Structure 1
Amino acid sequence: MTKKQKNRQMKVATLIFIILFSFTIGLFLGRNDRPVNYISEKINQFKEEWILVFQNHSTKTNNNNQSIVQNAQFHFLNVGQGSSTLLQSDDGTTILIDTGRYEDKDKKILTYLDRYIGTGGKIDLLIFTHNDSDHIGYGDLILQYYDVQEVWMNGYDSTSKIYERVLDAIGNSNTQYVEPKNGETHQVGPFYLEVLNPGTELRNNPNDDSIVTKVSFTNFSGLFSGDASSRVEKNIIKDGANLNADLLLMGHHGSETSTSKEWVEAINPEISVYSAGENKGYRHPGLETVDRLNKMNIPIYGTEKNGTITIKANKDGTFIVETEKEE
């Protein structure tokens, strides 16, 4: 639950306690000839009725929020040779997947977050797909500067100073820490998340232990796989999960070690995106990967040529693409 939901629940619980206390006093004063068991039964009955009222109110509120939300935005942030994706819905729900590269001296990710959610704004869920420096980059600053409700990590330890700073920031914050496993599902506002990797036993490979998720917003969905290799992709396919999605974030920045033919066919996306910098030494995206997607007539967008890429998804599954700069 968010802090706001917890505060609301606390207020309702306090109100119930006051009413129960008053009710009990009234019973003792007005019906002191009644046995103790009768009073206890009445209190339990009254408490159960109030719990049902509260649950029904919460369900109606959630359903109303779901029906109000019509649109969501998937921002692939231009953070250089790194990865960071911000998901937002009209009701203010925000999910941040990875936090870019620590070597970005301009700290562009903070500029983007200030623009999209406001300085010190709320992030409902922060996912670090894995602990490479180009994915956890300025995660420590984000945990310090923003109101992060929940953090996901894959449980694979690292000895890097960047990783240690992120762990310290988590420890010094009020965020909830989770290590999700494949087969789990989570609802965050109007976003529905299916965890496809890692399993209960880690592979002890920093890339292949990446948190892989399918994120759905009503009739639009996207696949996010961190730096997981084609080996992981094939294992996920064997598990039999429904991978069909409209959007594919190419694995490992479009590297030839990921985004296999079988993976793309299983997802059958309408659009693909890769996050990479202008440094050609990394050879991202891989020529074979690009050629594979071109042959399948899947449009490709990249942050190093298009800048920040925003996909605006509608409730009916239609979407439009906006780019920060032209090719």
Structure 2
Amino acid sequence: MVRKKKMTKKQKQQRIQVSVTAFLIALAFFIGLFFGDNPYDADYFTDKWQELTREWSTYLPRFEPESSSNGTIRFFDVGQGSSTLYQSEDGTNIVIDTGRYDDSDKRIVSYLDKYIGTGGKIDLLIFTHNDADHIGNGDLVLEYFQVDEVWMNGVDHTTRVYEKLLDAISESDANYYEPNAGETKDIGPFKIEVLNPQESNRTTDHNEESIMTRTTISGTSIMNSGDASSTVEKQIVKQYSNLKADVMLVGHHGSKDSNSTEWLSAVDPEVAIIQAGLNNSYGHPHEETLERINHQGISLYSTMDEGTVTVTVEEDGTFSVNKD
């Protein structure tokens, strides 16, 4: 169990507002002294306060309340594949990847039936890249659920799984979009920051063009880097001064060719989750990756050992990790 406390943006804004209020009170007091009025006269103080607040309201910053909400992020056990569901208490649903194409149990559909409801709404469906262990069953998700928007990286593939997915997108009512690094999107209480692909440095490599996102709710952030290699990780570390995230989905199912020391240090998560299949043919997660994570002092969970891993975020910014 991991829990943390932090001052939320809302709390910081409230602290600023208190400071501004104190400043106005002091200003009213000294104006009263300057004009010779009795600063201790209640009626005078009330009149001056109303006058000042009317005048200063034009110049003071307007603080919008932070879009805070309880949230749940479920890293599904889909074997040697990847699929994650982000949910908030207001009903916002974001799905990143849809598991393996050859999953005979179609677990992703069962999971979404359970947590969203059959035929329910998915606000955003992100396919990090077009490998079959990430877009598998994507066509079924689009068929059985109401998907508002789909993100893909734009790198074409020749597989039948990819073709079926494109057909399903075309037949759906979902909007289609290819995001680039530097873009942000607010969906309900979630803020999504796109870190990759790099528009100025596009390739035809499916993994390197993975849509990498940092998603934040109530001050807690989750990093998903798809299957991008350490080469891309290091480029992004050089480009961005702040990559800190509280929770990280371990890149490329724990491959030694991802999850570089530089990346782990920059993201510096409290918790990391590996999505990999038991006794998979790739040997994921690789021992080198586990050693790097352990050296960094990161709490590690794995779907191959613990089933679906759930991160629950409270409105005050604390979070906890549970396993099925």
Q: CA deviation at 1:322?
A: 1.1
Distance 2:242 2:152 in 1: 23
- What value does the CA root-mean-square deviation take over the aligned residues? 1.2
SS in 1 for 2:213: strand
Q: CA deviation at 1:248?
A: 0.7
Deviations along 1:140-198, one digit per CA (max 9) or x if unpaired, are 01001000000000000001000000000000010000000001111111110111000
Q: Could you say which residue in structure 2 is the equivalent of 1:240?
A: 240
4+ aligned runs moved over 2 Å, structure 1: none
Q: Could you say which residue in structure 2 is the equivalent of 1:282?
A: 282
CA contact 1:220–1:314 (8 Å) conserved in 2: no
5+ residue gaps, structure 2, are: 1-63
Q: Could you say which residue in structure 2 is the equivalent of 1:302?
A: 302
Deviations along 1:255-285, one digit per CA (max 9) or x if unpaired, are 1011110001001100000100113321111
Q: Could you say which residue in structure 1 is the equivalent of 2:58?
A: none
Partner AA of 2:264 in structure 1: V
SS in 2 for 1:281: coil
Q: CA deviation at 1:241?
A: 4.4
Distance 1:123 1:99 in 2: 12
CA contact 2:70–2:218 (8 Å) conserved in 1: no
Give the helix-richer structure, 1 or 2: 1
SS in 2 for 1:102: coil
Q: CA deviation at 1:292?
A: 1.1
Q: CA deviation at 1:316?
A: 2.4
Residues 171-180 or 272-281, more deviating: 272-281
CA contact 1:139–1:166 (8 Å) conserved in 2: yes
In the alignment, structure 1 residue 258 sits paired with structure 2 residue 250: no
Q: Could you say which residue in structure 1 is the equivalent of 2:22?
A: none
Match runs of 1:136-151 below 5 Å: 136-151=135-150
Q: Could you say which residue in structure 1 is the equivalent of 2:195?
A: 196
Distance 2:302 2:96 in 1: 17
Q: Could you say which residue in structure 2 is the equivalent of 1:47?
A: none
Q: Give the 3 Å change call, closer, same or farther, for CA 280–161 of structure 1 in structure 2.
A: closer
Q: Could you say which residue in structure 2 is the equivalent of 1:205?
A: 205
Distance 2:304 2:104 in 1: 17
Distance 1:289 1:268 in 2: 15
Distance 1:296 1:309 in 2: 21
Q: Could you say which residue in structure 2 is the equivalent of 1:122?
A: 121
Once the two structures are aligned, what percentage of the paired residues are identical?
54
Distance 1:297 1:158 in 2: 38
Distance 2:316 2:243 in 1: 19
Distance 2:288 2:279 in 1: 18
CA contact 2:99–2:137 (8 Å) conserved in 1: yes
Q: CA deviation at 1:76?
A: 0.3
Q: Could you say which residue in structure 1 is the equivalent of 2:291?
A: 291
Distance 1:71 1:254 in 2: 29
In the alignment, structure 1 residue 268 sits paired with structure 2 residue 268: yes
Deviations along 1:54-78, one digit per CA (max 9) or x if unpaired, are xxxxxxxxx78x65x5310010001
Number of aligned residues: 260
Distance 1:159 1:213 in 2: 25
SS in 2 for 1:215: strand
Distance 1:211 1:322 in 2: 26
CA contact 1:81–1:279 (8 Å) conserved in 2: no
**TM-score with structure 2 length normalisation?**
0.78
Partner AA of 1:292 in structure 2: R
Distance 1:105 1:240 in 2: 41
Distance 2:107 2:319 in 1: 26
Partner AA of 2:77 in structure 1: N
CA contact 2:80–2:280 (8 Å) conserved in 1: no
Distance 1:97 1:159 in 2: 21
SS in 2 for 1:282: coil
CA contact 2:197–2:210 (8 Å) conserved in 1: yes
Distance 1:239 1:297 in 2: 25
Distance 1:265 1:160 in 2: 36
